[in-house]
Amino acid sequence: MAEGRTGISGENLLFLTDEQLRQGIEAMFFAYRGFTADPDRILSELAYGRAHHRAIHFINRAPGTTVNNLLDILGVTKQSLNRVLRTLIEDGLVESRVGQADKRERHLFLTEQGKALEQRLSDAQRTRMRAAYRDAGPEAVAGFRMVLEAMMDAEMQQTYTRLKETGI
């Protein structure tokens, strides 16, 4: 069986040593740092953090999503999300509309300014992901996605699957 860039053959992956697992964990930490570095720089110019980025990302992904749906996707407290949304609404990046069918619901949309910021943030991450995927090759990309999905808790996996299938 051919060995990949790591020098580990496919059949050896079933019997990873603690050292190999530690290396994978550390690679994940450093990859995440790289993945978030460009958006963090953009966000810091605006005095925003990663919570703002996540909210902007998922509002863009599902325009009109409800606050409750966003709470479910992000897995944060209502208080935490309200603080983030208040800032984004006050700064003109997000618009909150009362629901037509249920007046208690608030539906969230990015404004043009919000869409422009989301584009800047996601362009930086897409550039990094595209380059990494291109370097790794299609089999590695599929395997990486399988590993990420396998690491999700069951509840997160359900939310992820629903998001993939419906967009909300």
- Asked if the structure places residue 127 within a domain, the reply is yes
- Asked if the structure places residue 70 within a domain, the reply is yes
Spatial distance between the Cα atoms of 43 and 101, rounded to a whole number of angstroms: 35
* Count of domains observed in the chain: 1
- Asked if the structure places residue 12 within a domain, the reply is no
Question: Residue 78 has what DSSP assignment?
Answer: H
Question: What is the residue range of 87's domain?
Answer: 18-166
- Asked if the structure places residue 2 within a domain, the reply is no
Spatial distance between the Cα atoms of 13 and 50, rounded to a whole number of angstroms: 33
Q: Give pLDDT, residue 2.
A: 43
Residues 6+ apart with CB under 8 A from 33: none
pLDDT along the chain (168 residues), means of 10: 49 77 94 95 96 97 94 93 97 93 90 98 96 96 93 90 81
Q: Give pLDDT, residue 71.
A: 94
Q: Give pLDDT, residue 23.
A: 95
- Asked if the structure places residue 9 within a domain, the reply is no
Spatial distance between the Cα atoms of 59 and 39, rounded to a whole number of angstroms: 17
Q: pLDDT per residue over 119-150, tens digit each?
A: 999 999 999 999 999 999 999 999 999 999 99
- Asked if the structure places residue 116 within a domain, the reply is yes
CATH number of the domain residue 33 falls in? 1.10.10.10
CB 70 within 8 A of CB 119: no
Buried b (16+ CB within 10 A) or exposed e, 34-66: eebebbbeebeeeebeebbbbbbbbbbebeebb
Spatial distance between the Cα atoms of 5 and 9, rounded to a whole number of angstroms: 10
CA 127 from chain centre, in angstroms, equals: 15
- Asked if the structure places residue 43 within a domain, the reply is yes
- Asked if the structure places residue 61 within a domain, the reply is yes
Closest to 100 measured CA to CA, from 69, 66, 72? 66
CB 39 within 8 A of CB 104: no
